[in-house]
Structure formats: structure tokens, C-alpha cells
Structure 1
Amino acid sequence: MSTNFVRRTTRILVLNPNSSGAMTDGVEEAIRNMNLSQSTEIYTYTAPPESPASIDDGEDILTSADVVYQNLIETGILNQYDAVLVACFSVHPLVGRLAEMEGACGKLAGTGIFEASILTCLSLLTPGQKWGIVTTGKFWDHHLTEGVNVFLGIGAQSRNAKFAGVETTGLVAGDFHGGIKPAVVREKLREATARLLVGGNVECVVMGCAGMAGLEDIIRSVAVEMYGVERGNRLLVIDGVKAGIGLLEQMARNKRTFQRT
């Protein structure tokens, strides 16, 4: 009697490039609520202590990229996975560095929650509908707006008809996990969402921080108040981690299908 291997598991690493265990815990909770294929295994990684506990500006982005990249090289951990998701809502250098490492890591598929969220929104919107981002501090307004334009190949002076822009809460990522009172977080998030929705035909809102995982109902409640129950409940609220995992499942399969072995 002989046996044949007919199905393999897809192993995805969700990489938190900051050193906050609480942030990773929040991401894990969101992942547990996903309806995933039984052949998909999800693992999480929290950056070493040398990485910032909260990524709130350009310096934090670069520091976290350097610390995590060095750690990945030293441990060789990526060789255990089919795909990796950078769970920082930014134009994070690790996404590009992972692509450069691909030769050393076999058929590794990689993306970031920023990139995955954009692609998810564009796949869900119908003509005339818009999408936008609700995020944390003021730094992210320019950073993310410019990042969207670069990712979509749009000039700095051009305007994307589908993109409604970025609204900020004035918070930092750590505030979403015990940094300040939950009531303050809720109110700041509601205010930013209202500013985004009042600006146009916005049907898709991206939570522009991994720390926002699980807060979809706050955003959707604002849509219900402004748009009415029926339309408000149809609002698409995008969690970048969930979007990224869904995208990577397909990317990993495509790598196996279309890349030479």
C-alpha cells in the first residue's frame, strides 16, 4: 500500500514590527475571528525590545525596519513560512526588503497591511464610490496620502477620484491598547470618521493602524448616524491585517502555481 501527499498547509507569519506585545495580542484577537481555510496556519511575531513600542513617525518606521530586518536575518525564521505580512500601516521599508530577500526564502509571498488595504478597497468599490483612511497622529496625513499616490502611480499634484483622503484621530498606536481611557479613544475615532464620511460618497473606510483591530463597530455606528441604517450597515470597514491575510493566501497559491520550481 502506498500513500500520496495531496494537500499542503499555507503558513503565514503576521509580523508586528513594534515591540508591543499588547498590540500583537489585539492583532491575534482579530485573526481568531476570521473565517480561514483549514489549510492556512497563522503565526505572529513581535519585534525585539530594541524596536519602538509604538510607531508614530518616520524615525520609528526606519528604526523598526532596521531592528526587525537584522533579527530576521540572524534567526532565519522566514524559511519556515510561505508568506509574511508586515502589520504596520505605513509605507514600511520591510515590505521592499522582504521582496529582496525572496531569493533566500524560496517562494515567500510578502506584503504590508497598507498595500493590502488599498488593493482590497479597489476590488470592492463600484464606479463613483470612494474609500478613505482613518488613522492616528498628524504625521500620517501626509505620509499615507503620499504613499497611496506612489503605490497607485499617481503624481503628487494629481488627485485620485476614488480616494477621499486621510483623517487623523490625534492619538498614537499605543492608545488603542490601554494608553488612554477607552471612552476617549471611541470619541476621537468617531470624530475622525465623521470628518471622512461628510466629505463625499465614501463606502469603504480603512482602519489605518493595526492597533484599531476590533473597532469596526465604532466606525460603522457613525456611518449609520450619517447615512441611515441601511446604507450605514453596508459600509465596508477594512482591517488591514484581515485584508493582508486574505491577499497572502491567494499570493502563496499563485506563487506555487505560476513560479518555476
Structure 2
Amino acid sequence: MTTTLIRRTTRILVVNPNSSAAMTHGVEEAIRGMGLSESTETYTYTAPPESPASIDDGDDVLASSEVVYKNLTSTGALQQYDAVLVACFSVHPLVHRLAELQGSRGKLVVTGIFEASIQASLALLTTPPLDTAPPRKWGIVTTGKFWEAHLTRGVDKFLGVDAGSANSKFAGVETTGLTAGDFHGHVDPAVIKQKLTEATKRLLDQGAVDCVVMGCAGMAGLEDIIRAAAVEKYGLERGNQVFIIDGVRAGVGLLEQTVRNKRMFQSI
């Protein structure tokens, strides 16, 4: 008897490179609300305890990269996956390092929630009907001060824009002054709401902002706060039209389609 494979499963690993199980739980809740194909399986991974519990600066980014890369490659865990999403909103070295690996299911498709959010935002922006109209914009609301320069440089590099050059579609980065860990029980929810609302309104002050990116995986589930700020700033109709981008959802959706495209358009 012979059998024929007629449908291939897509297996995506979502990597939380910090050691916070609470953060991973928030990521899982975001994924559960997605309408994925029945043939797409998603799995989550939390970094070992030696990785930072909250990634708040460049040192934490590098430390988490080393810990997670060593752990994933030494255990061979990546062999069973088609794609990996790095769930840290930063220019994270794991994205490039893991993309270089060859697994038993072929070369891994890898992106980060930072890169996926940029692509989702640009795809959703509309072009004004008149050349004289101001461009529609997207921007990022994130945690601490460090990320303002880090993410701005990252956006420029990803889009191929010279550092310091004008980017008419990017409204910039606004920060709450919180850390990633603060979104998981470390800070009074009322304080989180206030700081996130204020940062969102500052971003919306930059012009016709159509997309607000939640620049931290820990912000999953806080869309209503951003939506309320947009409605207060723009009014009910316009505020409800603003896209609020969750990088985890953007990343999983992008990887699902990219794996499918790879199978359709690559000959090997």
C-alpha cells in the first residue's frame, strides 16, 4: 500500500526571549484570538532563567540573544518547525541568527514582531487621493526611553532610509516610561492606563496617524486603552478606524503566509 501526502502542516514557534512566563502567557492569549488555518500549528517558548526577565535596553537584547540561541541550537528544538517568530519588539539579533539555520523541514523562515509590525502597518496605510494631501502615518508606542533611538534607527535601517533623513510615513516612537515587566502585575493598572493613554495621544499629535503599533509584546490585550485614546483624540468615527497593530499577531500571520509562499514559489 502506498500513501500520498496531500496537506502539509505549518509549524510556527513563537519565541519569548525573556524568562517571564507571564509574558509568554500574554503572547498565547493574543494568538488564541487569531483565525489561523487548521493546518497551522503554533507553539510558544520561554527563555531559560538565565535570560533577563524583562528586556529593557541593549545589554538585555544581547544577553537574551546569547542565552536563547545557545539553548535552541544545543537542544535541536528548531528541527521540527517551519518558522520562528522572535517576540521581542527590538532589532533583535536572533532574527538574523536563526534565519541562517537549516532544519529538518528546510531553512527556517524567521521574523521578529518589530519587522512584522512595520510590514503590517505599511500594507494598511492608504494613499491620499491628492498629491497635496499629507501622507497617512504609522507610529510606535513602547516602554522606556532607550527604545526611542533604538527603534527609530531600526525603522530607518529596515526601510533603507538614511539615518536622520525624513520619513514622511513614520510618525515616530513615543514611550510610556514603563518596562515590559510592568505590564504583568508589577504596576497599578490605573498607572499603566494613564501612561499608555498619554503616549498614544502624543503619537497621534504627529498628524494623520492611521496605524498605532504596540511596541512591546507585554502590551498584548491593552488595545482598548489605545482605542479609547484614539477616539478621544479623533472622535468616534475616525478613532475607530485607526489600526492597532499587535506585533505577535502580525508576525504569526506573516509567517503563515510566507511559509505557504515559499512552498509555492521555490523549486527546492
TM-score bucket (shorter structure) = over 0.9
Give me the whole-angstrom Cα distance separating, in 2, the residues matched to 1:130 and 1:183. Answer: 29
Equivalence for 2:61 = 61
CA distance in 2, matches of 1:102, 1:214: 34
Q: Tell me if the contact between 2:100 and 2:107 (Cα under 8 Å) persists in the aligned partners.
A: no
1:105 to partner: Cα distance:
6.3
Structure 1 residue runs of 4 or more that deviate by more than 4 Å after TM superposition: none
Q: Is the 8 Å Cα contact of residues 107 and 255 (structure 1) preserved in structure 2?
A: no
Query: In the alignment, what sits opposite 1:42?
Result: 42
Structure showing the higher helix proportion among its residues: 1
Change (3 A) 1:258 1:126: same
Q: Does 1:164 align with 2:171?
A: yes
Q: Which amino acid letter does the alignment assign opposite residue 10 of structure 2?
A: T
Aligned partners of 1:142, 1:43: CA distance in 2, in Å?
A: 32
In 1, Cα distance between the equivalents of 2:164 and 2:144?
A: 23
Alignment of 1:180-195 (within 5 A): 180-195=187-202
**Is 1:256 the counterpart of 2:263 in the alignment?**
yes
> 1:83 is matched with which residue?
83
Aligned partners of 2:80 and 2:103 also within 8 Å: no
The question of 1:99 aligning with 2:106 is answered no
**Does the aligned pair in 2 maintain the 1:78–1:105 contact within 8 Å?**
no
- Using the aligned pairs only, state the percent identity: 72
The Cα of 1:103 is off from its aligned counterpart by 6.6
CA RMSD of aligned residues (A): 1.2
TM-score, normalised on structure 2? 0.95
In the alignment, structure 2 segments of 5+ residues that lack a partner are 128-134
**TM-score (structure 1 length as normaliser):** 0.97
1:14 is paired with a residue of what secondary structure? strand
Per-residue deviation, 1:102:
3.6
1:81-130 deviation per Cα after TM superposition (whole angstroms, max 9, x unaligned): 11000000000000010122147762311100000000000011012210
Specify the code of the residue in structure 2 equivalent to 1:14.
V
Query: Between Structure 1 and Structure 2, how many residues are aligned?
Result: 261
Report the counterpart of residue 131 of structure 2 in structure 1: none
- What residue number does 2:137 align with? 130
- Matched with 2:132 is none
The answer for the alignment partner of 1:117 in structure 2 is 117
Find the residue that maps to 1:134 and give its secondary structure: strand
Note the residue ranges of structure 1 that are not aligned, 5 or more in a row: none
Instruction: Give the secondary structure class of the aligned counterpart of 2:167.
Output: coil
